[in-house]
Amino acid sequence: MSEDIEADTSCCASCGIAEVDDIKLVPCDDCDLVKYCSEDCQKDHTSRHLLDCKKRAAELRDGLLFKQPESTHRGDCPICMLPLPLDTATYAMYTCCSKIVCTGCDFANEKREIEMRIVQTCPFCRKELPDTDEECDKQRMKRIEANDPVAIRFEGFEQCKKGNYIGALDYLKTAAELGDAYAHYKLSILYELGQGVEKDFGKEIYHLEEAAI
Protein backbone atom coordinates (compact mmCIF):
# COMPACT_ATOMS: atom_id res chain seq x y z
CA MET A 1 0.00 0.00 0.00
CA SER A 2 1.42 3.41 -0.93
CA GLU A 3 2.16 6.28 1.49
CA ASP A 4 -0.65 8.33 -0.12
CA ILE A 5 -3.16 5.63 0.67
CA GLU A 6 -1.87 5.34 4.23
CA ALA A 7 -2.28 9.09 4.65
CA ASP A 8 -5.83 8.89 3.28
CA THR A 9 -6.82 6.25 5.84
CA SER A 10 -5.52 8.30 8.77
CA CYS A 11 -8.03 11.06 8.18
CA CYS A 12 -11.49 11.55 6.71
CA ALA A 13 -11.24 11.51 2.90
CA SER A 14 -13.95 14.18 2.65
CA CYS A 15 -13.37 16.80 5.37
CA GLY A 16 -9.80 15.87 6.32
CA ILE A 17 -10.39 15.51 10.06
CA ALA A 18 -7.94 13.13 11.77
CA GLU A 19 -8.87 10.06 13.78
CA VAL A 20 -8.12 11.16 17.36
CA ASP A 21 -9.72 10.62 20.76
CA ASP A 22 -13.51 10.45 20.28
CA ILE A 23 -13.36 10.82 16.48
CA LYS A 24 -13.55 7.37 14.90
CA LEU A 25 -13.20 6.82 11.18
CA VAL A 26 -15.13 4.15 9.30
CA PRO A 27 -13.68 2.54 6.14
CA CYS A 28 -15.46 2.59 2.80
CA ASP A 29 -17.94 -0.27 2.50
CA ASP A 30 -16.39 -1.62 -0.70
CA CYS A 31 -12.66 -0.84 -0.62
CA ASP A 32 -9.77 -0.21 1.77
CA LEU A 33 -8.56 3.06 0.26
CA VAL A 34 -10.35 5.68 2.37
CA LYS A 35 -12.15 6.28 5.66
CA TYR A 36 -14.88 8.69 6.72
CA CYS A 37 -15.92 10.38 9.94
CA SER A 38 -19.64 10.35 9.11
CA GLU A 39 -22.24 9.16 6.60
CA ASP A 40 -22.62 12.71 5.33
CA CYS A 41 -18.91 12.91 4.49
CA GLN A 42 -19.12 9.55 2.72
CA LYS A 43 -22.06 10.75 0.61
CA ASP A 44 -20.31 14.05 -0.23
CA HIS A 45 -17.18 12.18 -1.34
CA THR A 46 -18.93 9.50 -3.41
CA SER A 47 -18.66 11.22 -6.80
CA ARG A 48 -14.89 11.76 -6.40
CA HIS A 49 -14.18 8.33 -4.99
CA LEU A 50 -16.46 6.15 -7.13
CA LEU A 51 -14.03 5.21 -9.94
CA ASP A 52 -11.11 4.44 -7.60
CA CYS A 53 -13.46 2.52 -5.32
CA LYS A 54 -14.77 0.28 -8.11
CA LYS A 55 -11.25 -0.41 -9.36
CA ARG A 56 -9.94 -1.30 -5.90
CA ALA A 57 -13.03 -3.38 -5.05
CA ALA A 58 -12.46 -5.39 -8.24
CA GLU A 59 -8.81 -5.92 -7.29
CA LEU A 60 -9.77 -7.12 -3.80
CA ARG A 61 -12.39 -9.51 -5.19
CA ASP A 62 -9.93 -10.92 -7.75
CA GLY A 63 -7.46 -11.46 -4.94
CA LEU A 64 -10.01 -13.57 -3.09
CA LEU A 65 -11.21 -15.34 -6.23
CA PHE A 66 -7.79 -16.48 -7.45
CA LYS A 67 -6.14 -17.12 -4.09
CA GLN A 68 -5.06 -20.73 -3.72
CA PRO A 69 -6.93 -22.30 -0.78
CA GLU A 70 -5.12 -24.08 2.04
CA SER A 71 -7.61 -26.95 1.89
CA THR A 72 -10.63 -28.09 -0.13
CA HIS A 73 -14.04 -26.48 0.14
CA ARG A 74 -15.20 -29.52 2.12
CA GLY A 75 -13.07 -28.53 5.10
CA ASP A 76 -11.69 -30.94 7.70
CA CYS A 77 -13.16 -33.91 9.50
CA PRO A 78 -14.27 -32.54 12.92
CA ILE A 79 -12.81 -35.58 14.72
CA CYS A 80 -9.39 -36.33 13.20
CA MET A 81 -9.04 -32.82 11.71
CA LEU A 82 -7.67 -34.19 8.43
CA PRO A 83 -8.91 -32.62 5.16
CA LEU A 84 -12.04 -34.30 3.81
CA PRO A 85 -11.47 -35.92 0.39
CA LEU A 86 -13.37 -34.80 -2.69
CA ASP A 87 -14.83 -38.29 -3.18
CA THR A 88 -18.31 -38.23 -1.61
CA ALA A 89 -18.05 -41.97 -0.83
CA THR A 90 -15.32 -41.29 1.72
CA TYR A 91 -17.39 -39.42 4.30
CA ALA A 92 -20.87 -39.29 5.84
CA MET A 93 -23.11 -36.47 7.09
CA TYR A 94 -25.11 -36.96 10.28
CA THR A 95 -28.51 -35.27 10.53
CA CYS A 96 -28.33 -34.94 14.33
CA CYS A 97 -25.52 -32.36 14.23
CA SER A 98 -24.93 -31.82 10.48
CA LYS A 99 -21.29 -32.79 10.92
CA ILE A 100 -19.47 -34.40 8.01
CA VAL A 101 -17.23 -37.20 9.28
CA CYS A 102 -14.58 -39.05 7.29
CA THR A 103 -14.94 -42.80 6.66
CA GLY A 104 -11.97 -43.60 8.92
CA CYS A 105 -13.49 -41.94 11.98
CA ASP A 106 -16.89 -43.35 11.09
CA PHE A 107 -15.46 -46.88 10.92
CA ALA A 108 -13.49 -46.44 14.17
CA ASN A 109 -16.66 -45.41 16.00
CA GLU A 110 -18.65 -48.31 14.54
CA LYS A 111 -15.89 -50.78 15.48
CA ARG A 112 -15.87 -49.43 19.06
CA GLU A 113 -19.65 -49.83 19.33
CA ILE A 114 -19.55 -53.43 18.04
CA GLU A 115 -16.73 -54.40 20.39
CA MET A 116 -18.47 -52.82 23.38
CA ARG A 117 -21.90 -54.04 22.25
CA ILE A 118 -23.49 -50.64 22.67
CA VAL A 119 -26.12 -48.76 20.70
CA GLN A 120 -25.02 -47.00 17.50
CA THR A 121 -24.45 -43.29 17.94
CA CYS A 122 -23.16 -40.33 15.96
CA PRO A 123 -19.33 -40.37 16.09
CA PHE A 124 -19.29 -36.63 16.82
CA CYS A 125 -22.18 -35.66 19.11
CA ARG A 126 -22.87 -39.22 20.42
CA LYS A 127 -26.62 -38.99 19.88
CA GLU A 128 -28.37 -42.27 19.12
CA LEU A 129 -28.80 -42.80 15.38
CA PRO A 130 -32.36 -42.55 14.01
CA ASP A 131 -34.07 -45.71 12.77
CA THR A 132 -36.25 -44.20 10.03
CA ASP A 133 -36.12 -41.54 7.33
CA GLU A 134 -38.86 -39.66 9.18
CA GLU A 135 -36.66 -39.37 12.26
CA CYS A 136 -33.78 -38.15 10.06
CA ASP A 137 -36.07 -35.48 8.61
CA LYS A 138 -37.10 -34.35 12.09
CA GLN A 139 -33.47 -34.05 13.14
CA ARG A 140 -32.63 -32.06 10.02
CA MET A 141 -35.55 -29.69 10.63
CA LYS A 142 -34.24 -29.05 14.15
CA ARG A 143 -30.87 -28.15 12.66
CA ILE A 144 -32.61 -25.86 10.17
CA GLU A 145 -34.39 -24.09 13.04
CA ALA A 146 -30.95 -23.64 14.62
CA ASN A 147 -29.84 -21.84 11.42
CA ASP A 148 -27.37 -24.58 10.44
CA PRO A 149 -26.19 -23.83 6.86
CA VAL A 150 -25.41 -27.49 6.06
CA ALA A 151 -28.89 -28.66 7.05
CA ILE A 152 -30.53 -25.72 5.26
CA ARG A 153 -28.58 -26.42 2.07
CA PHE A 154 -29.39 -30.14 2.27
CA GLU A 155 -33.11 -29.33 2.49
CA GLY A 156 -32.72 -27.07 -0.54
CA PHE A 157 -31.16 -29.96 -2.46
CA GLU A 158 -34.02 -32.24 -1.38
CA GLN A 159 -36.58 -29.74 -2.65
CA CYS A 160 -34.73 -29.59 -5.99
CA LYS A 161 -34.93 -33.38 -6.28
CA LYS A 162 -38.71 -33.10 -5.82
CA GLY A 163 -38.90 -30.46 -8.54
CA ASN A 164 -39.90 -27.74 -6.06
CA TYR A 165 -37.35 -25.19 -7.26
CA ILE A 166 -39.19 -22.18 -5.86
CA GLY A 167 -39.22 -23.75 -2.40
CA ALA A 168 -35.58 -24.78 -2.78
CA LEU A 169 -34.59 -21.22 -3.63
CA ASP A 170 -35.41 -19.91 -0.14
CA TYR A 171 -33.34 -22.61 1.55
CA LEU A 172 -30.40 -22.21 -0.81
CA LYS A 173 -30.36 -18.42 -0.52
CA THR A 174 -30.37 -18.65 3.27
CA ALA A 175 -27.54 -21.21 3.26
CA ALA A 176 -25.57 -19.06 0.81
CA GLU A 177 -25.97 -16.01 3.05
CA LEU A 178 -24.51 -18.11 5.86
CA GLY A 179 -21.46 -18.82 3.69
CA ASP A 180 -22.21 -22.28 2.31
CA ALA A 181 -20.23 -22.80 -0.93
CA TYR A 182 -22.42 -25.67 -2.15
CA ALA A 183 -25.51 -23.47 -1.88
CA HIS A 184 -23.85 -20.77 -3.99
CA TYR A 185 -22.94 -23.34 -6.63
CA LYS A 186 -26.47 -24.78 -6.74
CA LEU A 187 -27.90 -21.27 -7.05
CA SER A 188 -25.64 -20.64 -10.04
CA ILE A 189 -27.14 -23.71 -11.73
CA LEU A 190 -30.70 -22.56 -11.00
CA TYR A 191 -29.98 -19.16 -12.55
CA GLU A 192 -28.27 -20.82 -15.51
CA LEU A 193 -31.18 -23.16 -16.25
CA GLY A 194 -33.97 -20.85 -15.13
CA GLN A 195 -35.31 -23.32 -12.57
CA GLY A 196 -37.55 -21.50 -10.10
CA VAL A 197 -36.13 -18.18 -11.31
CA GLU A 198 -35.63 -16.32 -14.57
CA LYS A 199 -32.34 -17.03 -16.30
CA ASP A 200 -29.78 -14.50 -15.15
CA PHE A 201 -26.19 -14.73 -16.41
CA GLY A 202 -24.98 -12.07 -13.99
CA LYS A 203 -26.31 -13.89 -10.92
CA GLU A 204 -25.04 -17.19 -12.29
CA ILE A 205 -21.48 -15.82 -12.46
CA TYR A 206 -21.83 -14.10 -9.08
CA HIS A 207 -22.76 -17.31 -7.29
CA LEU A 208 -20.06 -19.28 -9.11
CA GLU A 209 -17.47 -16.77 -7.92
CA GLU A 210 -18.83 -16.85 -4.37
CA ALA A 211 -18.63 -20.64 -4.41
CA ALA A 212 -15.00 -20.43 -5.57
CA ILE A 213 -14.09 -17.87 -2.92
pLDDT band (50, 70, 90) for residue 213: confident
- Cβ-in-10-Å burial (0-12, 13-18, 19+) of 119 comes to exposed
Torsion of CA 65, 66, 67, 72, to 10 degrees: 80
Buried b / exposed e along 23-52 (16+ C-beta atoms within 10 A): eebeebeebebbbbbeeebbeebeeebeee
pLDDT band (50, 70, 90) for residue 8: low
Cα 167 from Cα 26, distance rounded (Å) = 39
What is the average pLDDT value for the chain, to the nearest integer? 90
Work out whether strand 91-93 and strand 35-36 pair parallel, antiparallel, or are unpaired: unpaired
- The model's pLDDT over 152-183, given as tens digits with 9 standing for 90+, comes to 999 999 999 999 999 999 999 999 999 999 99
What Å distances lie between residue 180 and 28, 32, 59, 157, 158, CA to CA?
26, 25, 23, 13, 16
pLDDT at 54 over 50: yes
Cα 96 from Cα 146, distance rounded (Å) = 12
Residue type, 47: S
